[in-house]
């Protein structure tokens, strides 16, 4: 268990209570219906948890990546899909927290902290997944406005959020170096929503296309400066990847606990199956991996919150390791539950489906390895 402060333990406790009391009774319903869980958003908002990662002067609790990870982990322990209504808002708010002007922060962060308006982050496009620098959305200056044209794909909270950070090219001739970041509000003329995805897991979390057709946004919605958009996106991902790792390890913890409970109760050959050493060793490996991943996540979060300049490597490591652990642990949990594990009546098959995305989004684990390797090479060259 990482060393949390009293306040952090209280936040964890609050999130755990929402997860068990509010999310647990409805997680199967949302997994089947794939509707957005507004009732849970309200519960999270009422508990002020949307404010945990927002500075106090903008209506938040004043925490950071650590608090964001704590809440995400506890919610994900029960439902990795519903947890995203919280975590994706954290991702959407991050560019504002990191790069917003005082005016922009005053305008938007209190709304996010109160849970009145959700946020989302829009970088990915059909031709710009791992190759995030290949975005095609343009943002052309027109007097005191920018005109956005293009399509963003697979945007978590798309259509549910009201505050979007969108990365577009203000100078297409410079590629990623000509990208800029903008705040776009729901309801802006020329901004609409496209296809809603039908996903394997994290159901109950909306993943949707954003369409910009001559969408005029005021110049004051530019974040940082023109040409800084790719850097804004990369720094945002550095801060948010420990959150994905926390989601992964929350899911893994849920699966491990379910597997232990089941193994204690399931009688085969006249004894509970947990009495078998082979199964005990599986559980031991699962628990060890979860504990190691948690230590790495909260170390990455601690570094992020301490203002360390370059956290790309440890942030990528935490997401890579925790998501691989989550996939292994949830798959083993299904195995321990045997035939029951494969049935939708038990939660572990959902946990396995939910875990899979954590190896893919916010940068595939292959990209995380690239990020880590680049850092290793840079460090070696400095010696």
Q: Site mask, ligand COS, residues 179-218, x = CB under 6 A?
A: ----------------------------------------
Quick check: 99 binds ligand COS (CB under 6 A)? no
Binding segment toward ligand COS, per CB under 6 A, in 35-43, 67-75, 135-143, 235-243: 235-243
Q: H/E element holding 87?
A: helix 84-99
Smallest separation, CB 367 to ligand COS (Å): 5
Q: Which is nearer to ligand COS, 107 or 199 (CB)?
A: 199
Query: CA–CA distance from 70 to each of 65, 172, 247 (Å)?
Result: 9, 39, 9
Near ligand COS by CB under 6 A: residue from 208, 235, 302, 356: 235
**CB within 8 Å of 158: residues ≥ 6 apart:** 120, 122, 152, 193, 196, 206, 207, 208, 209, 210
Q: Which is nearer to ligand COS, 47 or 89 (CB)?
A: 89
Binding segment toward ligand COS, per CB under 6 A, in 256-264, 336-344, 347-355, 367-375: 367-375
Q: Are strands 191-196 and 179-185 parallel, antiparallel or unpaired?
A: unpaired
Binding segment toward ligand COS, per CB under 6 A, in 107-115, 194-202, 285-293, 357-365: 357-365
Q: Which is nearer to ligand COS, 8 or 368 (CB)?
A: 368
Residues of 189-198 as b/e, b for ≥16 C-beta within 10 angstroms? eebeeeeebe
Residues facing 217 on adjacent strands: 146
Quick check: 360 binds ligand COS (CB under 6 A)? no
What is d(CA 108, CA 86) in angstroms, rounded to the nearest whole number? 16
Q: Which is nearer to ligand COS, 75 or 371 (CB)?
A: 371
The values of phi and psi at residue 61, to 5°, are: -85, -20
What is d(CA 87, CA 196) in angstroms, rounded to the nearest whole number? 19
Cα–Cα nearest to 17, from 75, 61, 69: 75
Instruction: Look up residue 264 and give its two tokens.
Output: 């204690």
What is d(CA 125, CA 154) in angstroms, rounded to the nearest whole number? 8
Near ligand COS by CB under 6 A: residue from 45, 224, 231, 295: 231
Quick check: 112 binds ligand COS (CB under 6 A)? no
**CB within 8 Å of 372: residues ≥ 6 apart:** 313, 316, 317, 320
56, 328, 362, 379: the active-site residue = 362
What is d(CA 145, CA 376) in angstroms, rounded to the nearest whole number? 42
Query: CA–CA distance from 65 to each of 52, 55, 245 (Å)?
Result: 9, 12, 11
Tell which positions 120-149 bind ligand COS, by CB under 6 A. 121, 123-124, 130-133
Q: Is 362 a catalytic residue?
A: yes
Smallest separation, CB 237 to ligand COS (Å): 5
Tell which positions 240-299 bind ligand COS, by CB under 6 A. none
Near ligand COS by CB under 6 A: residue from 238, 305, 332, 349: 238
What is d(CA 47, CA 145) in angstroms, rounded to the nearest whole number? 38
Quick check: 177 binds ligand COS (CB under 6 A)? yes
Cα–Cα nearest to 189, from 166, 214, 171: 214
Q: Which is nearer to ligand COS, 58 or 121 (CB)?
A: 121
Near ligand COS by CB under 6 A: residue from 66, 205, 312, 323: 312
Smallest separation, CB 365 to ligand COS (Å): 11
Smallest separation, CB 89 to ligand COS (Å): 13
Near ligand COS by CB under 6 A: residue from 45, 98, 211, 234: 234
Catalytic positions are: 362
Chain positions contacting ligand COS, by CB under 6 A = 121, 123-124, 130-133, 176-177, 230-231, 234-235, 237-238, 312, 361-363, 367, 370-371
């Amino acid at each position: 268990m990482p060393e949390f402060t009293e306040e952090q333990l209280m936040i964890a406790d609050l999130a755990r209570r929402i997860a068990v009391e509010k999310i647990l009774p409805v997680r199967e319903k949302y997994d089947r219906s794939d509707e957005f869980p507004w009732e849970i958003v309200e519960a999270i908002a009422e508990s002020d948890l949307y404010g945990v990662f927002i500075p106090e002067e903008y209506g938040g609790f004043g925490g950071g990546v650590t608090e964001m990870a704590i809440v995400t982990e506890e919610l994900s322990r029960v439902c990795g899909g519903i947890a995203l209504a919280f975590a994706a808002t954290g991702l959407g708010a991050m560019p504002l927290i990191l790069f917003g002007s005082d005016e922009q922060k005053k305008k938007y962060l209190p709304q996010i902290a109160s849970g009145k308006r959700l946020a989302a982050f829009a970088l990915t496009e059909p031709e710009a997944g791992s190759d995030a620098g290949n975005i095609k959305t343009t943002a052309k200056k027109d007097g005191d406005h920018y005109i956005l044209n293009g399509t963003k794909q697979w945007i978590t909270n798309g259509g549910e959020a009201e505050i979007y950070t969108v990365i577009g090219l203000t100078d297409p001739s410079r590629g990623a170096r000509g990208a800029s970041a903008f705040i776009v509000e729901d309801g802006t003329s020329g901004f609409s929503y496209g296809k809603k995805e039908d996903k394997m897991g994290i159901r109950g979390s909306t993943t949707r296309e954003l369409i910009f057709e001559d969408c005029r946004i005021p110049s004051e919605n530019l974040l940082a400066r023109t040409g800084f958009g790719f850097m804004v996106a990369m720094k945002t991902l550095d801060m948010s990847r420990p959150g994905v790792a926390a989601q992964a390890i929350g899911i893994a913890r849920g699966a491990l606990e379910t597997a232990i409970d089941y193994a204690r109760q399931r009688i085969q050959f006249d004894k509970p199956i947990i009495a078998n050493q082979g199964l005990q060793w599986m559980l031991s490996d699962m628990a060890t991996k979860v504990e190691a991943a948690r230590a790495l996540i909260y170390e990455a979060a601690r570094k992020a919150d301490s203002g360390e300049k370059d956290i790309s490597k440890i942030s990528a490591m935490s997401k890579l390791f925790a998501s691989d652990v989550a996939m292994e642990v949830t798959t083993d949990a299904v195995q321990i539950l045997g035939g029951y594990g494969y049935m939708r009546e038990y939660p572990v098959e959902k946990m396995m489906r939910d875990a899979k995305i954590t190896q893919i989004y916010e940068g595939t684990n292959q990209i995380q390895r690239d990020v880590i390797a680049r850092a290793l090479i840079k460090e070696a060259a400095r010696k």
